[in-house]
Amino acid sequence: MRLMLYIICATVFIVCSSWADDMLLPTALAGNGDIVYIANENGKSVFVYDLGTRIVSARVSLPSAPTGLALSGQTLYVTGGLPSGVLYTIDTASMKITATTALPSGACAPRVVGTTLVVCNRYAGSLSFIDIATGKERKRISVGREPVATAVSGGVLYVAQHLPDMPANAASVHSVITTVDIERGVVTGTIALPNGSTALRDITAAPDGSIIAVHNVARFDLPTTQIERGWMNTAALTVLKPGAANTYATVMLDDPESGAANPYAVALSPSGKTIFVAHAGTHEVSIIDRGRMTAKLEAMNRTALSYDLTFMRGIRQRIALGVNGPRSILVTKRGVITAGYFSDALALIGNINSTPSVNILPLRDTVTLTDSRRGEMYFNDAKLCLQNWQSCSSCHPDGRVDALNWDLMNDGMGNPKNARSLLNSFRRSPVMSHGIRASADVAVRSGIRFILFTVQPEPVAEAMDAYLKAMESDPSPYLVNGKLSAKALRGKTLFESPGVGCTACHTGPLFTDLKLHDVGTMGPYDSEGTFVTPTFIELWRTAPYFHDGRYSTVKEVITVGNKEGKRGKTAQLTPAEIDDLVEYLLSL
Ligand code: HEC
Ligand code: HEC
């Protein structure tokens, strides 16, 4: 009987895996009583789920993929990030879109703050302040690299910024939390997370004004020879006190022999007594007793980053969800809800205060994963890693970069390299800075073996190949209506001119001849000076630059970084021409 079932399941699985990708990919939640609104990224829709009847009671299709939700009375705000930023205003009574407002690239994480809706424009690096009464954007401010979430405490907006924005060989490399005076709409400061903090995903405020954020802490300065005891990537929770210019404490969410990888969302119970963290890499939710955590924090030495992997012992429960890839958290009267991104299902955790139990609430009858979607799931799955410390996405968030230098073993020890985007990696053989791997499929298999420290059946690697092959580039935030600006067009002419000479190496559709060159960029730790010409597709999101991430801007690469003129001739260009050239490169 069991064998029969297995054969039927396996057959269904094989048949299904060739179907088109119709996954919903639920990514954000908002709620009001028993009604839960679910943003489906791939489904380009919002579902209305009734917790009482446990059915999807309504749905609305959107022109583009939703990134975030916010409720204000009868109105549901839905952000979309790409191909360009947008805000959809939905009347919850009719579930009809009543207004569509254009926003900068990467719009996400809408938050109602009084009479204003604040939106993070992740790729444009700005915040939009939208007047709720008129629906008009009344102010826009720059905050820096990849704002992805906000929290409000004492008239201050705390903005979580996903990736570090400094050179990767700086004394400290870390994501920041930017503070904004809400009343005046101006940036008042930045709070640095500890060295190695990256992939900052979420932030929330407690009733007492404290701020809590979740992110990775990478020990990128150690050689990647082992992974036990948080040697490479750890999952962290940072606490800020209201008004303070520095973090209060950062603690590990992992256990000594079991990582809690890829913390993606954080929320609090209404009383503020319990913290919930969704771990997208290990498919768990942590339930943390905040009172006991605070007592523990007060008693400990908080001046140094604590790598104590036993910190959570006795104050937290780890709940296995049974859905894959939770990226959101919603606290409701019936329990805590998260959505499995790769499961198209909600998980409802009940009995929080005694023995928590999980109910899985499917959003559809059958879930069918294409090969590439299954590969994306594996890529984000820390369960594939020895002791669950990290997934491929820990260093390649969204398949791109974590902005850190890592000392991988494939090219010897002691010569760290900046993480590379995997976009088009299958069209860019050889791969790695030195071209050490003949092609991306070799890199995938060695990544599983030497970075995740595991052995996986070949179909796992093949699915990852399929995912990487299917990755598509996102349009640059520097484009104007999807086209090169006048400035970028001037830069294009310079770029292509023989006198500047970039196309001698940066040629073809990916702007690389795929050859190794010694262009005078050998650093103090390198054992050899030849590097594969890098691609420029999505250069706007792959900072810092060069194999060792020594420059955080493209401008530095072509000015101070090209003094000897070994990579084209740039010394004769006027400052305006340099700006034009930079604008072009960032538009690709
Ligand atoms: C600990 C961080 C880390 C993890 C985890 C990681 N990588 Fe990487 N990856 C890197 C770094 C750093 C580079 C660039 C190395 C270089 O340039 O020599 C890289 C490069 C690559 C490349 C080559 C890209 C190119 O265009 O040159 C591929 C493909 C790749 N990784 C796939 C994976 C896969 C698949 C996984 C999971 C099995 C994974 N990586 C996990 C850090 C990591
Ligand atoms: C002789 C070949 C060659 C020429 C000509 C050349 N480049 Fe490059 N370029 C490279 C190589 C190789 C690297 C990688 C160096 C490293 O990682 O240390 C690079 C790196 C870069 C980077 C950093 C990309 C990244 O992702 O880190 C930029 C930007 C860049 N070049 C722009 C230009 C521009 C603009 C020109 C023309 C003015 C130019 N290059 C001319 C070979 C060349």
Backbone CA torsion sign across 401, 403, 404, 409 = positive
* Ligand 1 in reach of 150 Cβ (< 6 A): no
Cα 100 from Cα 112, distance rounded (Å)? 17
Backbone CA torsion sign across 551, 553, 554, 555 = negative
**Which of 208, 253, 213, 207 lies closest to 233, judged by CA?**
253
Structure tokens at 168: 């990767």
Burial of 456 (0-12, 13-18, 19+ CB in 10 A): middle
Structure tokens at 11: 């057959």
C-beta of residue 219 within 8 angstroms of C-beta of residue 226: no
191-214 pLDDT, tens per residue?
Answer: 999 999 999 999 999 999 999 999
What is the pLDDT, as a whole number, of residue 548? 96
Cα 101 from Cα 88, distance rounded (Å)? 7
Ligand nearest to the CA of 231: 1
Backbone CA torsion sign across 478, 480, 482, 486 = negative
What is the pLDDT, as a whole number, of residue 2? 46
Ligand nearest to the CA of 452: 1
302-348 pLDDT, tens per residue?
Answer: 877 778 999 999 999 999 999 999 999 999 999 999 999 999 999 99
Nearest-CA residue for atom 37 of ligand 1: 392
| 436 Cα nearest atom in ligand 1 | 18
What is the pLDDT, as a whole number, of residue 19? 53
Nearest-CA residue for atom 4 of ligand 2: 567
The gap between the terminal CA atoms of the chain, to the nearest Å, is 56
- Greatest pairwise CA separation for the chain in angstroms: 78
Q: How many whole angstroms from 167 Cα to the centroid of ligand 2?
A: 17
Cα 165 from Cα 175, distance rounded (Å)? 7
Q: How many whole angstroms from 567 Cα to the centroid of ligand 2?
A: 6
**Which of 278, 263, 280, 235 lies closest to 383, judged by CA?**
280
Ligand nearest to the CA of 411: 1
What is the pLDDT, as a whole number, of residue 15? 42
Q: How many whole angstroms from 540 Cα to the centroid of ligand 2?
A: 15
C-beta of residue 552 within 8 angstroms of C-beta of residue 582: no
Cα 466 from Cα 376, distance rounded (Å)? 9
C-beta of residue 198 within 8 angstroms of C-beta of residue 174: yes
Nearest-CA residue for atom 29 of ligand 2: 554
411-441 pLDDT, tens per residue?
Answer: 878 889 999 999 999 999 999 999 989 999 9
Give exposure, 5-16, as e/b (b: 16+ Cβ within 10 Å).
Answer: eeeeeeeeeeee
Ligand nearest to the CA of 432: 1
Nearest-CA residue for atom 11 of ligand 1: 419
Q: What residues line ligand 2, using a CB cutoff of 6 Å?
A: 433, 500-502, 504-506, 517, 519, 521, 531, 533-534, 539, 542, 545-547, 554, 557-558, 567-568, 570, 581, 585
Cα 39 from Cα 265, distance rounded (Å)? 15
Cα 260 from Cα 233, distance rounded (Å)? 10
C-beta of residue 535 within 8 angstroms of C-beta of residue 545: no
What is the pLDDT, as a whole number, of residue 14? 43
Give exposure, 343-376, as e/b (b: 16+ Cβ within 10 Å).
Answer: bbbbbbbeebeeeeebeebebeeebbbbbbbbbb
| 532 Cα nearest atom in ligand 2 | 12
Structure tokens at 323: 């859905």
Ligand nearest to the CA of 520: 2
Ligand nearest to the CA of 522: 2
Structure tokens at 503: 């196309």
| 558 Cα nearest atom in ligand 2 | 35
What is the pLDDT, as a whole number, of residue 354? 87
Cβ contacts of 3 within 8 Å, gap of 6 or more: none
* Ligand 1 in reach of 464 Cβ (< 6 A): yes
Nearest-CA residue for atom 10 of ligand 1: 419
* Ligand 1 in reach of 444 Cβ (< 6 A): yes
CB atoms within 10 A of CB 509: 9
Q: How many whole angstroms from 420 Cα to the centroid of ligand 1?
A: 6
Burial of 34 (0-12, 13-18, 19+ CB in 10 A): middle
* Ligand 1 in reach of 425 Cβ (< 6 A): yes
**Which of 396, 372, 403, 371 lies closest to 382, judged by CA?**
396
Q: How many whole angstroms from 552 Cα to the centroid of ligand 2?
A: 14
Cα 263 from Cα 326, distance rounded (Å)? 9
* Ligand 1 in reach of 448 Cβ (< 6 A): yes
Enumerate residue ranges in the chain where pLDDT < 70.
1-19
| 408 Cα nearest atom in ligand 1 | 12
Cα 517 from Cα 492, distance rounded (Å)? 23
Give exposure, 170-187, as e/b (b: 16+ Cβ within 10 Å).
Answer: eeebbbbbbbbebeebeb
Cα 368 from Cα 372, distance rounded (Å)? 11
